[in-house]
Amino acid sequence: MPKPQIGVVVPTLNSASTLHWTLCALHSQRGVTLNVIVADSGSTDATLELCKHWSVRTIYVPPGNMYRAINAGLREIDSEWVTYLNSDDVVYPSSYARLLARGEEKKACLVYGDCDFVDYEGRFLFMQKSPPAPRLAGLARLSPVFKGRLGFTQPTAIYRRIAFEELNGFDEVYRFFSDVDFFYRFITSGRPAAKLPRPTVAAFRLHNKQLSVRQASSIQEEMRRFRKATTIRPMPADWLDVLSWRLLNSPVYLWRLSRLRP
């Protein structure tokens, strides 16, 4: 019996310092067949050599918008399930098989799990627990208020390609906030979602070179634009969904506060 297939796009631009870890993680996936495309925007370092080393297909997408590269890559893939993975993040070896099996079991269009956060060298920092699927809608409706937080991180999520197409992919009007906009539209559309129980699915790398650090002011501006564009108003019960999720992660908040002390 053939293994289930999932398509993964990795957007890159001079990503050689971390890409090897990401491609190694994808190469190590068990129980699924991966269709991996690196959507590169003109790297001048060893990014393309690493892709050759791992026998990964590459396409060129003009620089300027990471989500344009992701859209272009995902539209090259005909797998039923798709996702993208940043070139500095990793997915654990059984994660995609687990996510895909959960999606089929629950007849979901979106599946997500819990995420580890690591430093630049891959050292564990903390874990973020994602909310159960019934609480996603409340978090999404309040995401314009809470800086786009949806309760789960993008590297832990996969979704059906048909839903990606129906939603017209990632909105390229955004350069930094399009993943939040995409999942906001996905969740508020009423498409079914499922939460994958622990263990964690992926590791999100925190470091000073990532876009969220280097382009913080631009991200703030896009957040304001996203807030103005949203038309679905939150309901009173949505605040309980946010409170529940925050309580779920309260040990992490306390730990992070303690790290701020001199």
Domain boundaries, the chain: 5-260
pLDDT at 66 over 60: yes
User: In the predicted model, what is the mean pLDDT of the chain?
Assistant: 92
Asked, as a colleague might, if the bond just before 199 is cis with ω within 30 of 0, I would say yes
Measured in degrees and rounded to the nearest 5, phi and psi for residue 135 equal: -95, -5
- Tell me: pLDDT of 234 over 90: no
Per-residue pLDDT at 10 exceeds 60: yes
pLDDT of amino acid 261: 52
- At residue 114, the pLDDT reads 98
Place of tokens 């890559």: 73
Say which residues have a Cβ less than 8 Å from residue 102's Cβ, sequence separation at least 6: 108, 111, 194, 196
Q: What is the pLDDT of residues 36-62, one digit of tens each?
A: 999 999 999 999 999 999 999 999 999
- CA 78: distance to chain centroid? 20
The answer to whether the predicted template modeling score (pTM) of the entire model surpasses 0.85 is yes
Report the C-alpha gap between 71 and 188 in whole angstroms.
21
| 66 contacts: CB under 8 Å, gap ≥ 6 | 11, 13, 41, 175, 211
CB 238 within 8 A of CB 117: no
Residue 156 pLDDT exceeds 90: yes
First vs last Cα of the chain: how many Å apart?
57
Q: Name the nearest CA neighbour of 202 among 84, 82, 117, 103.
A: 117
CATH code of the domain occupying 5-260: 3.90.550.10
- For position 36, what pLDDT does the model report? 98
Q: State yes or no: pLDDT of 209 exceeds 70.
A: no
What lies within 8 Å, CB to CB, of 233 at 6+ separation is 141
Q: How confident is the model at residue 18 (pLDDT cuts 50, 70, 90)?
A: very high
Is residue 256 predicted with pLDDT exceeding 70?
A: no
Residue 210 has pLDDT above 80, yes or no: no
For residues 51-75, average pLDDT: 97
**Residue 191: closest CA among 159, 168, 169:** 159
Question: pLDDT band at residue 223, thresholds of 50, 70 and 90?
Answer: confident
- Mean pLDDT lowest among 67-81, 118-132, 166-180, 246-260: 246-260
Look at residue 220 in the predicted model and tell me its pLDDT: 84
pLDDT confidence bin for 221, thresholds 50/70/90? confident
Other CB atoms within a 10 A radius of the CB of residue 198 amount to 11
Contact 90, 203 (CB under 8 A): yes
Give the count of beta carbons closer than 10 Å to the beta carbon of residue 163: 16
Instruction: Check whether 260 has a pLDDT greater than 70.
Output: no
